[in-house]
């Protein structure tokens, strides 16, 4: 395989990138942005070498314990469970959550051979029963696998006497009802609250 073919194959590993997109990226970097290609290569090597997982919450971190877990100003009574570091970053961007996190690094998917063991449920349960956590917020996705993961976690937490809640779902802010899918409207009706 030539160096160009290796680059294209490497770019195809990215989610949503097919053969043509990988070719376009490779040709662009080599033809128009050699400095960008060097920067990208160094950044990838540095990230692969220096970024691991936080010992406490399992998010990406260059230190043994990430900055969020080190922040003593956060509310230790709240523990938000998310599927990925990207989900954690989205929660942080809202600036409305000030507790701690546990990042599963996936979700239960029997068809893909992913069980509770692979996503660290035992570590989550040990963290949740530390004596400080009062509420575990299950912020998994609303896919079939995310729902199954939330259900399994809720049952395991309930068995240990811990309170768990699930993110609400419903009509997106700023949307018009006639354009919202029927499943979202149905869940919004079921999960409605008093005003």
At 80-127, the pLDDT tens digits run 999 999 999 999 998 999 999 999 988 888 778 887 787 888 899 999
Structure letter (DSSP) for residue 69: H
36 and 92: one domain?
no
Evaluate whether 168 touches 150 at the Cβ level (below 8 Å): no
At 145-192, the pLDDT tens digits run 999 999 999 999 999 999 999 988 887 888 887 888 888 888 778 877
Q: What is the pTM of this model?
A: 0.83
41 and 87: one domain?
no
At 10-19, the pLDDT tens digits run 999 999 999 9
Q: Largest Cα–Cα distance of the chain, in whole Å? A: 64
**Sheet with 163-166, side-by-side order of all strands:** 99-103, 75-82, 135-138, 163-166
80 and 161: one domain?
yes
42 and 96: one domain?
no
Q: pLDDT confidence of 194, banded at 50, 70, 90?
A: low
**CATH for 13:** 1.10.8.420
Is 24 among the domain residues? yes
State how far the Cα of 33 lies from the Cα of 89, in Å rounded to an integer: 29
- pLDDT score for 49: 96
At 41-92, the pLDDT tens digits run 999 999 999 999 999 999 999 999 999 999 999 999 999 999 999 999 999 9
33 and 82: one domain?
no
Is 139 among the domain residues? yes
**CATH for 149:** 3.40.1360.10
- pLDDT score for 40: 93
State how many domains the chain has: 2
- pLDDT score for 195: 58
12 and 83: one domain?
no
Evaluate if residue 21 carries a pLDDT over 90: yes
151 and 97: one domain?
yes
- pLDDT score for 55: 94
- Domain that residue 7 falls in: 3-50
Is 64 among the domain residues? no
**17 Cβ contact partners less than 8 Å away, ≥ 6 residues apart:** 11, 25
Is 16 among the domain residues? yes
DSSP track, 96-122: ---EEEEE-SS--BGGGTB-TTTTTHH
Is 63 among the domain residues? no
- pLDDT score for 163: 92
**87 Cβ contact partners less than 8 Å away, ≥ 6 residues apart:** 103, 139, 141
Q: pLDDT confidence of 140, banded at 50, 70, 90?
A: very high
43 and 83: one domain?
no
Is 190 among the domain residues? no
Instruction: Give backbone dihedrals phi and psi of 74, rounded to 5 degrees, phi first.
Output: -80, 160
At 151-161, the pLDDT tens digits run 999 999 999 99
State how far the Cα of 18 lies from the Cα of 44, in Å rounded to an integer: 20
In this prediction, residues 136-149 reach a mean pLDDT of: 91
Q: What is the dihedral of CA 98, 99, 100, 101, to 10 degrees?
A: -80
């Amino acid at each position: 395989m030539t160096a160009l073919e290796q680059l294209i194959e490497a770019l195809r590993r990215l989610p949503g990138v097919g053969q043509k997109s990988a070719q376009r990226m490779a040709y662009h970097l080599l033809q128009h942005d050699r400095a960008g290609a060097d920067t990208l290569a160094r950044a990838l090597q540095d990230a692969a070498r220096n970024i691991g997982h936080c010992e406490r919450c399992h998010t990406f971190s260059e230190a043994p314990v990430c900055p969020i877990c080190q922040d003593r100003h956060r509310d230790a009574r709240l523990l938000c469970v998310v599927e990925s570091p990207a989900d954690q970053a989205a929660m942080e961007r809202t600036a409305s959550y000030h507790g701690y996190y546990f990042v599963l690094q996936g979700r239960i998917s029997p068809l893909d051979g992913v069980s509770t063991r692979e996503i660290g449920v035992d570590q989550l349960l040990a963290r949740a029963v530390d004596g400080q956590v009062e509420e575990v917020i299950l912020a998994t996705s609303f896919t079939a696998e995310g729902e199954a993961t939330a259900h399994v976690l809720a049952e395991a937490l309930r068995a240990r006497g811990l309170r768990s809640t699930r993110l609400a779902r419903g009509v997106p802010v700023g949307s018009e009802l006639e354009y919202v899918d029927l499943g979202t409207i149905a869940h919004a009706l079921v999960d409605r609250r008093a005003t």
